[in-house]
């Protein structure tokens, strides 16, 4: 399948290559892959992505330490993906932070989680639709991060999150997620979300997109990221984005229309054609 797909990609690049005569100025895109730690193979597949992707690793999972070390050795950014309480009481697993903890318990637990992830440069929240709306809890998070000179990325699992604003108030290097790539796990949705992230980056200079180590997401990124070579879009580590500066943007930026440049639709058309062909071949093998 991969060889066939790459052949189609080369063909479509000649047939309908993007025109950059009216292309926007340089746009910086950061991509974060959450939820690493449970599956070794899924984590390794994600880390092999051909770009400066950032990896958010959950604490105290079977493969967390190994995956964090692997990503760091390849020069990728590693951050803690800290589990936080949700409004619907979902089970969070080891390292979970919630409002029932005392300040001492909370900070000790967070510090232990950070220490469990080698080379962590910062953290973002895993779930947390409840805890990220709690100003006191978010202050405790930022106090721990500030002491350790780490940054905070607000995953924005709640529109009422005060994580980013708390970090900003405390002078902590911080950013906020713009786009979720795969809240629906199908290639067409991921493609549309990716182009929305590009649109935000074009308008504001940068954008942050979060995805997960799903096979569909990783396969999409594996093949679409090289298509950005030579365009005005560049993929950056979160730490580099923070050093270079991030222009504030309104919540409405997350509803941007998908970008039209670079022309990635030719890519997705080839991808879908190949997938459909593979399905037909599998069906014929069963007959």
Identify the pLDDT of residue 14: 30
- Cα 48–chain centre separation: 15
Identify the pLDDT of residue 20: 39
127 and 189 together in one domain: yes
- The one-character DSSP state at 97 is B
Are 46 and 205 spatial neighbours (Cβ–Cβ below 8 Å)?
A: no
Identify the pLDDT of residue 19: 38
48 and 29 together in one domain: yes
CA diameter of the chain: 64
Q: At what angle do helices 2-15 and 265-286 cross, to 10 degrees?
A: 150
Identify the pLDDT of residue 24: 57
What does the block give as tokens for 233?
Answer: 């879009």
8 and 84 together in one domain: no
Tens-digit pLDDT string for the chain (287 aa):
444 444 434 333 332 334 334 555 789 999 999 999 999 999 999 999 999 999 999 999 999 999 999 999 999 999 999 999 999 999 999 999 999 999 999 999 999 999 999 999 999 999 999 999 999 999 999 999 999 999 999 999 999 999 999 999 999 999 999 999 999 999 999 999 999 999 999 999 999 999 999 999 999 999 999 999 999 999 999 999 999 999 988 988 988 899 887 878 877 777 767 666 555 554 455 45
12 and 96 together in one domain: no
239 and 203 together in one domain: yes
281 and 206 together in one domain: no
Are 201 and 27 spatial neighbours (Cβ–Cβ below 8 Å)?
A: yes
Triad 72, 204, 245: Cα angle to 5°: 45
Are 106 and 142 spatial neighbours (Cβ–Cβ below 8 Å)?
A: no
136 and 203 together in one domain: yes
State the DSSP string of 8-64.
HHHHHHHHS----TT--S-EEEEEEEEEETS-HHHHHHHHT-SS--EEEE-TT-TTH
Identify the pLDDT of residue 281: 55
What does the block give as tokens for 117?
Answer: 């992830």
255 and 272 together in one domain: no
64 and 120 together in one domain: yes
Residue numbers of the domain that contains 162: 23-259
243 and 104 together in one domain: yes
What does the block give as tokens for 139?
Answer: 């202050």
Identify the pLDDT of residue 161: 98
144 and 4 together in one domain: no
Specify the pTM: 0.88
Which helix H or strand E contains 217, and what residues bound it?
Answer: helix 215-224
27 and 85 together in one domain: yes
Supply the CATH number for residue 34's domain. 3.20.20.370
């Amino acid at each position: 399948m991969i060889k066939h797909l790459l052949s189609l990609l080369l063909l479509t690049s000649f047939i309908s290559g993007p025109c950059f005569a009216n292309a926007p100025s340089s746009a910086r895109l950061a991509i974060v892959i959450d939820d690493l730690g449970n599956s070794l193979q899924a984590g390794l597949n994600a880390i092999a992505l051909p770009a400066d992707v950032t990896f958010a690793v959950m604490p105290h999972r079977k493969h967390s330490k190994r995956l964090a070390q692997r990503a760091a050795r390849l020069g990728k950014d590693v951050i803690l993906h800290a589990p936080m309480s949700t409004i619907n009481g979902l089970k969070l697993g080891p390292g979970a932070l919630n409002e029932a903890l005392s300040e001492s318990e909370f900070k000790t637990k967070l510090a232990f989680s950070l220490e469990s992830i080698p080379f962590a440069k910062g953290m973002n929240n895993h779930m947390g639709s409840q805890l990220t709306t709690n100003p006191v809890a978010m202050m405790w998070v930022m106090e721990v991060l500030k002491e350790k000179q780490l940054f905070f990325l607000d995953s924005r699992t709640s529109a009422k999150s005060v994580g980013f604003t708390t970090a900003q108030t405390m002078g902590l290097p911080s950013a906020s997620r713009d786009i979720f790539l795969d809240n629906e796990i199908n290639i067409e949705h991921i493609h549309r979300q990716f182009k929305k992230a590009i649109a935000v980056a074009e308008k504001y200079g940068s954008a942050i997109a979060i995805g997960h180590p799903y096979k569909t997401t990783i396969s999409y990124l594996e093949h679409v990221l090289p298509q950005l070579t030579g365009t005005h879009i560049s993929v950056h580590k979160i730490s580099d984005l923070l050093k270079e500066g991030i222009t504030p943007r309104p919540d409405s930026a997350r509803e941007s229309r998908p970008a039209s440049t670079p022309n990635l639709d030719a890519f997705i058309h080839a991808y879908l054609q190949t997938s459909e062909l593979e399905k037909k071949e599998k069906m014929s093998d069963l007959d």
